[in-house]
Amino acid sequence: MSAGRPPFSPSDLEALLVPLLVLLVLAPMVLFLVFDGDSMKVLASLMSAVVVVAALALSTGFTALTWVYVRSVHLVLFQGHNPEIPGPGPGDPAEFGYHGGPAWRDLAEVRSRVRRRTGLLVLFLLPHLAVHAAVVLTHTAWAWVGAAVLRLVDGGLLRYRRVRMLCPRCFERMAYPSYECVHCGRVHRDVRPGRLGVFRRRCLCGQSMPTLLVLGSAELNALCPHCLQGLEHRPGEARELPIALFGGTGAGKTRLTHGLHAALEHAAASHPGARVELASEDTRHRLGNSALMLSPRQRVPPTRPGRRARGLVLRVTAGRRALMVQVYDTAGEWFGRLERTEELTYLGKTTTFVLVVDPLAMPPVWDALDAGERRRLAEERSLTPDPEQVYMQVRDGIAHQYGTSARGLGRTRLAVVVTRGDLLAGTSIAPADVPPERWVREVLGMRNVLRAARSDFGSTRVFVTGAVVAPDGSPDPSLTTLARWLLAPEAEEFTAMLAPEPAAEAAPVGPDPTVPAREVR
């Protein structure tokens, strides 16, 4: 048989029928001689021969047609003799899953090949093609059902664990991260089960990739699907807690950020199974030397005004619980005008806020100090604007991004944190024996801010902190108290890790943290 000729065609059938017709003409003559002219016997023999030959012919033809079909299926499904399937597009550089189109294309190619080889005899192969179509339909249906179930289960687990992913660079929420192929670096924007794969997908380079976090996609290099920036903290593995710090320039936000890191790190070091990791390169660069920055004589430079706001990500682990703490320390200049504040879209995705106040910048506090205390603290005083102005500006920005709402803001929390408590210790206005809220209201004169906070936020609490460390490296207990309140809604493991130590409570570095800070609602 020539290379270009199909294995079976109508001409082959004609070649078989010609000898058969000759045999049918000669057979009666032979039978007439054998049976001595007995026409009845001759007729019976002919009818029996016709039935046998017809049965053999039909079975042979059906077998030949079936062989053509099986051969076509083998060529298409197992040897790749099928038309090239176009890719899904640049946003999804992966091959289609078999249920996502190739199964039906293969069926169409098998039907086309069989029809070319058998002509009208393809009608005898309709049962084969019907069974093939039923198998493809069943496979496709089960694959899509499986993909839907996997997505529902994965989404349900994320909701049950209250995992909501936020990009610390562009501040956009993401339903799922994008991932890079570990072999070629192509970006797969959405790897979840679908037309490109159910349990795994195959990159155009041939590399297999998991499709869900529960199947191992968290081990791949994650990127934000909106800004395509790398996400080193492996979003989706743990719940995220964004904390937005705001206050005027020089109020102490950066030093407080170092203090919170030091408090978490110190607490984790004294609890087995607990640890704190700096989960991004930017975080390691900015918080890698917190212990040095919190030295009582160390001055921390403020965040540069032109610096693009980014979240600092800390992975806090306590026992079997993990938490991604995203701290947003933005330069105070961003809170001067509403137009700039509205650019900080993370405010609309955050439920925990920290208003940072420098007491030395407030005239009532400065005027209450005696001359010697003012000389000693003159270099520490900042020129930060009135905290009430900053509060109102940010409050309006938050309400605008939340889209109105008392209902939206009802689940938010605000910590009013007065910094430099260590510098005020020993002065005539030290808050050591006065509850923080009363001291802030009466000495700092922030009655209007506290009154507005009660109305604007679901809960508010006042803290007086000293962002310093003792000679042994332990942070001021007031920082641990603040960190415990910030993490309190998450899990008991974190509050237990940050539980105050009796020795630390007995000898605080700054203002006495054992005075209960009253919850304001």
d(CA 84, CA 82): 6
C-alpha distance from residue 389 to each of 155, 281, 355, 443 (Å) = 41, 34, 12, 18
Distance CA 514, CA 494 (A): 19
pLDDT band at 331 (very low <50, low <70, confident <90, very high): confident
pLDDT band at 65 (very low <50, low <70, confident <90, very high): confident
- Please tell me which of 117-126, 227-236, 292-301, 511-520 the model is most confident about, judged by mean pLDDT: 227-236
DSSP string, 322-348: EEEEEEEE--GGGGSSHHHHTT-GGGG
Alpha helices of 35-91 — where are they, by DSSP H?
A: 39-78
pLDDT at 7 > cutoff 60: no
Percentage above 70 pLDDT, the chain: 83
Q: What confidence score (pLDDT) does residue 516 get?
A: 36
Highest mean pLDDT: which range of 86-95, 363-372, 390-399, 479-488? 479-488
Average pLDDT estimate for 350-373: 90
Closest by CA to 449, choosing from 395, 511, 513, 385, is 395
pTM exceeding the 0.85 threshold for the entire prediction: no
Contact 442, 365 (CB under 8 A): no
What pLDDT sits at residue 317? Answer: 94
CATH architecture, domain defined by 239-520: 3-Layer(aba) Sandwich (3.40)
Mean pLDDT of 31-47: 66
Residue 511 confidence (pLDDT): 39
